[in-house]
Structure formats: C-alpha cells, structure tokens
Amino acid sequence: MFKNRILNVVVIILVCVTLLVCAAAIVWMFVINKDNLLNTAGQAANLAAQTEARRLTAEEIVARTSLLDNVTTNLADKNHVVSISLAFQLDNERAYSEFETLKPLKIKPIVLKLLHTTHPDELFEENGFDNLAAQLMNEINPLLTLGKITQIDITSFVVDRL
C-alpha cells in the first residue's frame, strides 16, 4: 500500500476505529434505542386516536365551504386553456368569512398563477387533482389567520386546446 510501514499501520488502525464507531452507532440506533422509537410510534398512534375528526353535518359543511367558480386561464404550454371551479372547505366560520374577504384579492390570483404554471400533463396524471389541491393549500393557508383550509374539491374542470 504505502512504502512506509508505520503509515500503513496508522491507516489500518484508523479504518478499524471508524468501522467500530459505525457499528456501535448502528447497534445503538437499532437495538438499544429501539424502545424509544416504538414508544414514539405508539404515542403518535394514541394521539391520532384521541383526536379523531368529528364528522360535520351537511349544514356545517355548507356554512364552511366557499366556491370559486369558472376560473379560466392559459396553462403553461400556451396551447391549452383550463376552466375550473373549486370548493374550499374551511375549518370554522371565522376562517370562512376571512376567506370570502380575501377571495377576490388574494385567493383567485393564487389559483390563476398556479394554473398558469401548470402543464396539462400534470393535471391529467393519476394524482393530478390531489397535487393541485395540495399546492393550493400550501399557498393559501399561510394567508389565513383565523383558520385553515381543510379540503379543496374540484367541482368543474375543462381543458381545451387552442
């Protein structure tokens, strides 16, 4: 390896020490710390069971849902136009009121911008609508101070070629 015998020994010792430290870390993570990992997963399962969502009545859903109808814009490829209607369900009535106030000034431009940067292929993928809804939630929820969007449904969707 190296011409100097002492350097060879030092390199071999360093490699062995590194391997021992890595092996010790792996043993600690998967054997010794296994109880903590399982406990954390159990705590998460318990918390999820405790906070099981209450089903909303039809009246509550209507009172918390805002409609954005007939948004039409070009898609990213400039050869397609989309016309879409969306239903935004919010977590409380105060968030609904705030959303209604922001809808013409902030919400609709966000929807237009997102659609304008989206290719038609993205919308027609298997999870295209879900991805669009998730992106909209990520863009709009930070604007809301009195609540958040819990669900976005696409109520109408048409793509035309120009």
% of the chain exceeding 70 in pLDDT: 83
Residue range 47-101, pLDDT digits in tens: 555 555 678 889 988 999 999 999 999 999 889 999 999 999 999 999 999 999 9
For 52, residues 6+ apart whose C-beta sits below 8 A from its C-beta are none
Residue range 91-137, pLDDT digits in tens: 999 999 999 999 999 999 999 999 999 999 888 988 889 999 999 99
| Most confident segment among 22-26, 85-89, 147-151 | 85-89
108-116 and 128-140 helices, crossing angle to 10°: 140
Structure tokens at 89: 């369900």
> Letter for the amino acid at 126?
E
- The string over 3-21, giving b where at least 16 C-beta atoms fall within 10 Å of a residue's C-beta and e elsewhere, is eeeeeeeeeeeeeeeeeee
